[in-house]
Amino acid sequence: MNYTIVRPDKYSSDPRVHEVCKLVGTGKIDRATAQAAAWHVCNNMSWEQLAQKMYNHVGSPDTPYFSRSQLMAAQSMVAAVDVRVAEN
């Protein structure tokens, strides 16, 4: 699979997407937290949908994509993004 790096404004006009990208770019947010926040903002996935998302393992129990603490951190991140967007 090939990926192309694009500026956030080429992908979406939603200012929340731009702010999420800025926060992810700091390198201070773990990958799973960033992914949960991005899916919530970019793909309109609810926190419940994200909490129910599982890795399907053959021959062993499925495991969640996100821990409770990662989802809580993602919710806090999106709340901070919403405040930033509202202030601008």
The answer, as to whether pTM is greater than 0.75, is yes
In this prediction, residue 11 carries a pLDDT of 85
In this prediction, residue 5 carries a pLDDT of 86
What is the C-alpha separation between 42 and 36, in angstroms, rounded?
10
Q: How many angstroms separate the Cα of 73 from the Cα of each of 18, 32, 64, 79?
A: 18, 10, 16, 10
Q: Where are the domains of the chain?
A: 15-87
In this prediction, residue 49 carries a pLDDT of 98
In this prediction, residue 47 carries a pLDDT of 98
What is the C-alpha separation between 69 and 66, in angstroms, rounded?
8
In the numeric block, which tokens belong to residue 20? 């999420």
In this prediction, residue 6 carries a pLDDT of 87
List of the chain residues with pLDDT < 50: none
In this prediction, residue 83 carries a pLDDT of 96
In this prediction, residue 80 carries a pLDDT of 95
